[in-house]
């Protein structure tokens, strides 16, 4: 599990992200695999979709997972990505407003948040976070994992849920922030925290299922996690095909399997 969840967000080019580097989008070579930037909550689902795409079309793609905000910044600085699948709508809109995308893109999935507790944790999970509040008041919350709200939409949603339940101020000293929702899942699933607010798509995956208990957070407890994808300005034909493939019946079935709702 750790090898999958620990995928790094790296891009390499002449100048890269160094200070003073020109912010020009790199034009991909037609002979290279297209680089696909994707929100970390897609780690398992998109890997499965890309593998099926390679089998069906004979054209593999390179997936780079990270926090949506971090990937957006990298694209703005010239990272040679051709397609961006965000965990929200705001970050793709920033890129579209900056003239970096082909168009406004499309919603491909709606994500959900869960409260998760690993095996052996004193945390009782429930959709209203009653067990978390009780454990917090008793001093039993040592560390609690969420993604960084500044760069990860699932972290922003977690913050909203904790505020709605009146727990935010009390739990802030115990929070351990993952750079991505995948890193937050590492903290929570390995027993380094009593639990966490994580992506449903991660805890429902075969790699994580059985490592603990979880409860689905009501969708109305936070702003909708409407996940938008956009083709970048210099996207090539394979990236364009993959963009369309994600909206296919085959890919939609995979997304549903990992707990996403998909547009009709």
33-110+225-257 and 112-221 in the same fold: yes
pTM of the shown model: 0.87
Q: Where are the domains of the chain?
A: 33-110+225-257, 112-221
Give pLDDT tens digits for 11-54: 333 233 323 333 344 455 555 799 999 999 999 999 999 999 99
Give pLDDT tens digits for 112-167: 999 999 999 999 999 999 999 999 999 999 999 999 999 999 999 999 999 999 99
Fold of 33-110+225-257: D-Maltodextrin-Binding Protein; domain 2 (3.40.190)
For residue 43, CA distances in Å to 50, 101, 207, 221, 260 come to 11, 23, 11, 24, 13
Please state which CATH class domain 112-221 belongs to: alpha beta
Taking 50 as the threshold, does the pLDDT of residue 73 lie above it? yes
Give pLDDT tens digits for 82-123: 999 999 999 999 999 999 999 999 999 999 999 999 999 999
Give pLDDT tens digits for 162-207: 999 999 999 999 999 999 999 999 999 988 899 999 999 999 888 8
């Amino acid at each position: 599990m750790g090898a999958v969840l620990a995928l790094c967000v790296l891009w390499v080019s002449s100048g890269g992200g160094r200070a003073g580097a020109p912010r020009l989008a790199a034009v991909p070579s037609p002979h290279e695999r297209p680089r696909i930037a994707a929100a970390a909550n897609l780690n398992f689902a998109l890997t499965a979709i890309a593998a099926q795409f390679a089998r069906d079309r004979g054209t593999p793609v390179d997936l780079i997972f990270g926090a949506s905000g971090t990937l957006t910044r990298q694209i703005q600085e010239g990272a040679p990505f051709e397609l961006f699948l965000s965990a929200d709508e705001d970050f793709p809109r920033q890129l579209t407003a900056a003239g970096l995308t082909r168009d406004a893109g499309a919603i491909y999935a709606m994500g959900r948040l869960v409260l998760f507790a690993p095996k052996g944790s004193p945390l009782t999970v429930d959709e209203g976070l009653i067990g978390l509040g009780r454990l917090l008041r008793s001093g039993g919350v040592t560390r609690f994992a969420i993604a960084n709200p500044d760069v990860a939409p699932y972290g922003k949603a977690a913050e909203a849920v904790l505020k709605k339940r009146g727990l935010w101020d009390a739990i802030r000293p115990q929070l351990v922030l993952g750079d991505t929702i995948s890193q937050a899942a590492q903290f929570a699933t390995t027993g380094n925290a009593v639990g966490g607010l994580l992506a449903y798509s991660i805890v429902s995956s075969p790699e994580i299922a059985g490592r603990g208990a979880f409860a689905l957070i009501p969708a109305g407890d936070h702003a909708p996690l409407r996940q938008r994808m956009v083709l970048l300005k210099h996207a090539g034909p394979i990236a364009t095909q993959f963009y369309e493939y994600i909206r296919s019946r085959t890919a939609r079935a995979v997304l549903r399997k990992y707990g996403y709702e998909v547009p009709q």
